[in-house]
Structure 1
Amino acid sequence: MLNRILSCALAAGLVVGLLATALQLVLVSPLIMKAETYETAAPVTPHGHDHGAGAETHDHGDGWAPRDGAERAAYTALATVAATIGFGLMLVAAATLIAPQGLTVRSGVAFGVAGFAATGLATSLGLAPELPGAAAADLLGRQIWWVTTAAATAAGIALIAYGRPALKALGVALVVAPQVVGAPEAAAPASAAPAELAAAFAAHALVVQALTWVMLGAACGYAWERLGRVSAPGRTAEAGAPLTI
């Protein structure tokens, strides 16, 4: 079973990661590069960028960064594929834990939608995707809120979909609680980039993330079914039939 989970996530994550990279390079990266021109042109204080009184400043310094063009695209692809494989492992592991009969393309898409709801939709309600040069609250606080929100939302969705009636209310509470608490906010919101560019970036980033999760779920479901057929030559494997190793 473990071999099947790893093989499924690796294969699906690699293919979908490359597709997601293409989407990012077309829809997201150009907006980031535009924002970087505004960030470079923004007034700089001795401690970093001037985001307004009370806002946290970010000193980017003269550290190493990949050069624009092929090098930057290669690092984008590497990071995207690695993240997609990781999400694929979580998706397949959760699916086999919740539904022991395994994955199909249809159920994989459903798990993909749930993954986007937890890691993209719910988290963006408090921490929308931000361009370079935007004011932000303390990094550790934002990271803790993001991880907590994603985990609570995923658990809440699972309870709503698969839990007993008495637990469905708990599932709703888990989904709502992080939004009631709220994400950390910058003392004085500001951005070097125009608001229109920031809005376009947030929309494009969420669309790419949603497509990535749906494609990942479908690919994991397909790979799971395919591996089931290959592992059982000479007989017709049922869709999503578990493999004993």
Structure 2
Amino acid sequence: MFRSLILSACAIGVVAGLAMTAFQSFGVTPIILAAEQYEVSEPAEPESAHPHEAAGHTHEHGQAGGHHHHGGDEWAPADGFERTFYSAVSNICAGIGFAALLLVVMNQLRERGRMTPNASRGLLLGALGFVAVFMAPSLGLPPEVPGARAAALESRQLWWVATVLLTVAGLGILFLAGGWQRILGVPLLLVTHFFVPTHEGPMFSHPDPDAVTALNELHHQFIWATGLSNLAFWLLIGVLCAVTLNYLSRTGRIHHEQVPA
């Protein structure tokens, strides 16, 4: 059973990762490239004045769709095929990991009689994964285009991890607990949003007001583009996991016995 689930997760991750790369190529990457044009024209400033410089170009919401790193002498893939290739590798790795987690969760729910794997249930769990890994963190730390200023990388990473874990726990309680116990999940969904790491001052420090206006517009477009691409990514993973698990169950490649809840 374990081998079947792992191989299935790898296959699903490849499909979802390549699909995500296609979504990015048409919707996300053009926005990043457009924002980089303004970033290059910014005046150089002492590195010590901006300890969050590299972090300001990082979007930490699950997939490579918003990951973007630039800073000083740091290596970065060349535009074109090389950049697309590394994005695809990152997306595939993320897809395999998320698919493995969803398959395990779905299989546990199936064995306990809490869920029959099908496309609609896959869409639901995929949507919940999107909420936990992308939407909830984005409410506090929206995706950032190149040139945006943000709080220190370490504090944002810690906040992101805490938000994802607590959101998963909160959603699990809301959907799986019974009676009044479900309300215990609500505080878990909200608590980290009272302690969001913030950056003081304007998001963009470009000296040209027209450039700042353009960057703000690109920033809004980037939020929508990354959100829609990540939603499609998670829904695809959810459906593929449910359909695959249903197939494995019907063909006897995973156990059918139910575990008492």
Bin the TM-score by the shorter chain: 0.7 to 0.9
Match of 2:223 in 1: 202
Amino acid at match of 1:131: V
TM superposition outliers: structure 1 runs of 4+ over 6 Å: none
- Structure 2 unaligned spans of 5+: 55-69, 207-211
Tell me the distance in 1 between the aligned counterparts of 2:52 and 2:82.
Answer: 30
Give yes or no for the alignment of 1:73 onto 2:84: yes
Tell me the distance in 2 between the aligned counterparts of 1:56 and 1:210.
Answer: 28
Q: By how many angstroms is 1:94 displaced?
A: 2.0
Tell me the distance in 1 between the aligned counterparts of 2:83 and 2:100.
Answer: 26
Residues 170, 184 of structure 2: 8 Å contact kept = yes
Out of 229, 232, 236, the residue aligned to residue 211 of structure 1 is: 232
Aligned length: 232
Change (3 A) 1:57 1:63: closer
Match of 1:152 in 2: 166
Give yes or no for the alignment of 1:83 onto 2:94: yes
Equivalence map 1:13-162=2 (5 Å) = 13-47=13-47, 56-58=52-54, 60-100=71-111, 101=113, 103-162=117-176
Tell me the distance in 2 between the aligned counterparts of 1:99 and 1:135.
Answer: 45
Q: By how many angstroms is 1:84 displaced?
A: 1.0
Match of 1:171 in 2: 185
Residues 57, 135 of structure 1: 8 Å contact kept = yes
> How high is the sequence identity, in percent, across the aligned residues?
33
Match of 1:236 in 2: none
Tell me the distance in 1 between the aligned counterparts of 2:13 and 2:128.
Answer: 17
Length-normalised TM-score, structure 1: 0.87
Residues 104, 225 of structure 1: 8 Å contact kept = yes
Q: Deviations over 1:151-187 (max 9, x none)?
A: 11111111111102232111111112122x2310012
Change (3 A) 1:229 1:95: closer
What SS does the aligned partner of 1:44 have?
Answer: coil
Change (3 A) 1:107 1:242: farther
Match of 2:242 in 1: 221
Q: CA RMSD in A?
A: 2.3
Q: By how many angstroms is 1:8 displaced?
A: 2.3
Q: By how many angstroms is 1:104 displaced?
A: 2.3
Residues 228, 243 of structure 1: 8 Å contact kept = no
Q: By how many angstroms is 1:4 displaced?
A: 2.7
Q: Deviations over 1:197-243 (max 9, x none)?
A: 000001110110011100110011111122334446xxxxxxx9748
Amino acid at match of 1:182: F
Change (3 A) 1:170 1:118: same
Residues 106, 242 of structure 2: 8 Å contact kept = no
Tell me the distance in 2 between the aligned counterparts of 1:7 and 1:168.
Answer: 35
Residues 11, 223 of structure 1: 8 Å contact kept = no
Equivalence map 1:7-18=2 (5 Å) = 7-18=7-18
Tell me the distance in 2 between the aligned counterparts of 1:226 and 1:98.
Answer: 16
Q: Deviations over 1:79-137 (max 9, x none)?
A: 11111111111111222233425632221111101001111111100010101111010
What SS does the aligned partner of 1:79 have?
Answer: helix
Change (3 A) 1:155 1:169: same
- Structure 1 unaligned spans of 5+: 233-239
